[in-house]
Amino acid sequence: MKKVVRAVVVSAALAAGLLSVPASASAAGTPYVPGTLRPSVSQATQDAALQKYYDFWKKNFLTTKCGSGTYAVLSKDADHSFVAEGEGYGMTISAMMAEKDPQARSIVDGILKFVKAHPSVNNKDLHAAEQDSNCKSVNGSDSATDGDLEIAYGLLIADKKWGSSGSVNYKAEAVRIINAIKKSEVNGSTKFTLLGDWGNDAEYKNSSRSSDWMPGHLRAFAAATGDSFWDSVRTRSETAVSQLQSSYAPNTGLLPDFVVSTNSTPKPAPSNFLEGPYDGKYSWNACRDPWRLGVDAITASGSAAAAQVRKMNTWIKSATGGDPAKIQSGYSLSGSKTESGQHPCFTAPFAVAAMTDSGSQVWLDKLWTAISSWSPDATDYYGTGITIQVLLILSGNYVAA
């Protein structure tokens, strides 16, 4: 799969305000690093917001149309009905909702069944990245690294929640996929993730997607397999983030969607490298970076991501004057707007970055108000899926595998 075109769904105007009810320290997830901020509302209020979005997601984006015993996540705003990242999101979200939804395990098992029914043509242990409305693999039937990373992580969460002695051995399934990712979706020389199992050709082998640099996932893969290779992949990407911020975004900390020259000195991809004119900008892929880096910063003591996302947080708070409604749908690395309008996938991740900064409680509370006040869009799988995962983190229900 060499190209995914996202339909841009612009959300309604965000509500802004300040919540003041004291936060509860108790939640179902992994304890956070001391000093991590949480929204200034009760745990019950946080859990209620999460439940509202989760119920909406289940109603509008989960389907059983692809076969008996299967679940699949509909990607209504992508260019195909099903995409790999959506299935990965579905597994992770459902596993983390284990205590709140009696159907959660059936959903995880059903998505796994769908994933295994659609193997990549290049490596049968990876997932073919796109399926059409008839549940048939299309567009080459090869893989997308972001989807496989998330599917494997979701299985590790399932193992934490339910163990692996039942009908599905979640740990074994995860390790099987992790080993396949190592074989087919990581450049063995540079230790950077590839774009997919098609990405080893001359044009793409020294490129990567910054939103695939998920340090928490890579820590979990190292722990699950006992393979230090994953520590090397993590530290290589951590170094690249710092290099890119220093050289290309010293005032914003923003990262580009795609990175090239990973065999030498990583740099932003040129325009139209893979998806469009903003491939070297902070756009529809990199919008996930404050979330992916931020969650490692608050769950792993000493994470390199802490300083990295604080740069992003400091900039966006200043650039918007502390008003979440002014966050736009994409930026150059220097901070100029590339696309106008608001979208959850750009706003919500900055809330995770805010959790890392002790001076950002007011800003975090405004972001919480904005995020929890949105009216979800039944056509926007991407924004809804990201919002739920941010709410899992904000509410303390996130699990680090």
Long-range pairs for 232-236: beta carbons < 8 A, 24 or more residues apart: 232/191, 233/186, 233/191, 233/192, 233/193, 236/190, 236/191, 236/192
Do 208 and 194 meet the contact criterion of CB atoms below 8 Å apart? yes
Q: What is the pTM of this model?
A: 0.93
The predicted structure's pLDDT at residue 162: 97
Choice among 47, 85, 279, 377 that is catalytic? 85
Q: Which two tokens stand for residue 277?
A: 């004119």
Identify the band that residue 369 occupies on the pLDDT scale cut at 50, 70 and 90: very high
**Which tokens in the block code for residue 252?**
């914003």
Annotated domain spans of the chain: 43-394
Specify the pLDDT at position 180. 98
User: Among all chains, which residue has been given the structure tokens 């604080």?
Assistant: 310
Half-sphere exposure of 332 (CA within 13 A, CB side): 7
For 53, residues 6+ apart whose C-beta sits below 8 A from its C-beta are 376, 384, 387, 388, 391
Give CA–CA dist 116/181, Å, rounded.
15
| pLDDT tens figures, 311-362 | 999 999 999 999 999 999 999 999 999 999 999 999 999 999 999 999 999 9
State the CATH class of domain 43-394. mainly alpha
**Is 85 an active-site residue?**
yes
pLDDT digits (tens, 9 = 90+) for 241-252: 999 999 999 999
Catalytic: which of 109, 125, 130, 146?
146
